[in-house]
Amino acid sequence: MTDRGHHLNLNRGKEGERVAKVIARAGLCSRRDAERWIADGRVSVNGKMLDTPAFTVGPADRILVDGRTLPAPEAPRLFLYHKPVGLVTTVRDEKGRPTVFAHLPPGLPRVVSVGRLDLTSEGLLLLTNDGGLSRYLELPANALTRCYRVRVHGAVNAARLARLAQGITVDGVRYGPVEARIEGGSGANVWIAVRLKDGKNREVRKVMAHLGLQVTRLIRTAYGPFQLGYLPPGSAMEVPPNDLKNKLAGYFGQRSRLPSVNRNGQE
């Protein structure tokens, strides 16, 4: 039994890490989902039900989700997925539109996406079984470059594209430096190569619209050190473990210093 009404001591010192992060690293869900599970009363620590995700756990703490101990964390895995147009990057869609997760190739473990691509965007979408890795790849502080090929309709001004390298404010939202150069095409349909690090919601489309350009096709070709290459639409490929560790040495170095958490015992 767990005590829902008992407030846990939140001042637990500097050691350990947030409980939602531990749950995500165990591969049950994303960190944000873990925070929702806590709010729904599904998570307890040492027999006491949590009512806030602002709680730090250490090696001696016993975490239960729905009355069950956490599974041992799987080794982090990362998959490159070529998202086609027409799928939304969500598990369930309120409008009933087809989703990425309902159309993944067979044989993948439970995965979460690293960021999103909207319904009409295509290209590289990273998928991982590790919520902590997803968070690491998304954090602006880690400044991973996203690369896109963007087809636009309209009069393209090379000088205005070049000025995007200084950053730009659109509808009150400040976007960081954007590298944009004309790649090809002719007339009113031109391909532009875009590189950016912010990755804010619909950033490429909003910036192009601010320049009077309508995006008619948007393909993400790279995310950090990972490339789409010639991966066919709708297919996925795992990044080899050694390659993953080499390319994300910062994350794996940080992860090796995290404390393990007690998973023994039943309640």
Closest CA to 252 of 101, 136, 95, 117: 136
Instruction: Tokens for 243, please give them.
Output: 């390659």
Indicate which residue of 118, 130, 171, 243 is catalytic.
Answer: 118
Is residue 153 helix, strand or coil?
Answer: strand
198 belongs to the catalytic site: no
Residue for token pair 């010639």: 230
Please give the Cα distance from 138 to 67 (Å, whole number). Answer: 31
Closest CA to 123 of 160, 174, 84: 84
**Tally of CA atoms within 13 A in the half-sphere of 37 that contains its CB:** 20
Q: What is the DSSP string of 204-218?
A: HHHHHHHTT-EEEEE
Side-chain-side CA neighbours of residue 24 (13 Å)? 25
User: Residue 112 is which amino acid?
Assistant: V
Percentage helix, strand, coil for the chain under 3-state DSSP, each rounded to 5: 20, 30, 50
Please tell me whether residue 242 adopts helix, strand or coil conformation: helix
Other CB atoms closer than 10 Å to residue 174's CB: what's the count?
10
CB 266 within 8 A of CB 69: yes
Q: How far apart are CA 103 and CA 108, in angstroms?
A: 11
Active site residues: 118
